Amino acid sequence: MPSVEKFKESLTQFQVEDNIIKSINSGYEELVSSSPKKQKAAYFKQAIDIMDDNIPLDKSREILEWNACCKGGAREKASIAFRNENKELSLEEKLKKITKVPNMGKPLLNKDGTITIHAVEYWDGDRFACACSNFNKLKRDYPVSKNYCFCCGGHFKYHYEIMLGLTLKVKEVISSPLDSEGKNSCVFLFEVV
C-alpha cells in the first residue's frame, strides 16, 4: 500500500463513515506519499488499528485489497502469459510452476482445496522484513496488525486469479513480520470462490 492518496480515496469510495475517516486521518490530514516513511508508517498503523476496531473485517479486506500495489505493467503481462501458456494444466500443476515465477511466492494446494501462499521473503538481519514499502526495514517499537497485510494479499490475489483463471478470496493472513516482530514470514490462505 505505497500510496497515501489512494488509500484516503478508497475510504470514501468504500463508503466508510465520515467519523471513522476523520479518526483515521486525524493528525495526518496533510500526509502524502512523498512524506517521510516514518510518518507514513505511523499513519497506516493508526489507520489499521481504527479499521480493526470499527470496520467489519470483510470490508477492511476489500479496502486493503483494492489498495494492493503492482497490479499492472510487466507483472500483469507476465501473469497473462503464464495463464495462456499453462491453461491445460491442472490446478496443482499450475501452482507447482508458479513457484518458479519471480515475486509470486510458494503456493501449496491444501487437501481441502484452499491454497496456502508463502509470500516472497525479505530479511532484515536475522528477522523477516515486511515487503511493504511503508514498513520494510523501518525501525519501529510497535507491532502492526496482520490485517494490514490484506493489501499484500490483494497483490497475490490479483495475479493468481489471472494465472489460474479462478476467482479467489484471501481467507486469512496466517502470519506476518509486522505483528510478530519479524519472527514469522508472510503467509496467506486463499479459498477458491
Residue 153 contacts residue 173 (beta carbons within 8 Å): yes
Q: For residues 68 and 155, is the Cβ–Cβ distance under 8 A?
A: yes
Name the DSSP class of 119.
P
CA 81 – CA 44 distance, rounded (Å): 34
Assign residue 93 a region: left if phi > 0, alpha if psi is -120 to 50, beta otherwise?
alpha
* Mean pLDDT split into 10-residue runs, the chain, 193 residues: 89 97 97 94 96 97 93 93 97 97 94 95 85 80 91 95 97 93 93 96
Residues 6+ apart with CB under 8 A from 5: 32, 33
List the grid coordinates of 187.
503467509
pLDDT at res. 59:
97
CA distance 143 to 155: 22
> What's residue 120's pLDDT?
79
For residue 151, list its beta bridge partners: none
Taking the C-alpha atoms of residue 11 and residue 63, their distance in angstroms, rounded to an integer, is 7
What is the four-CA torsion angle of 51, 42, 156, 73, rounded to 10 degrees? 120
Q: Which triple of cell numbers denotes residue 162?
A: 489471472
Residue spans per domain, the chain: 4-66, 73-192
**CA 94 – CA 88 distance, rounded (Å):** 9
Res 1: pLDDT: 59
Q: Supply the pLDDT for residue 2.
A: 66
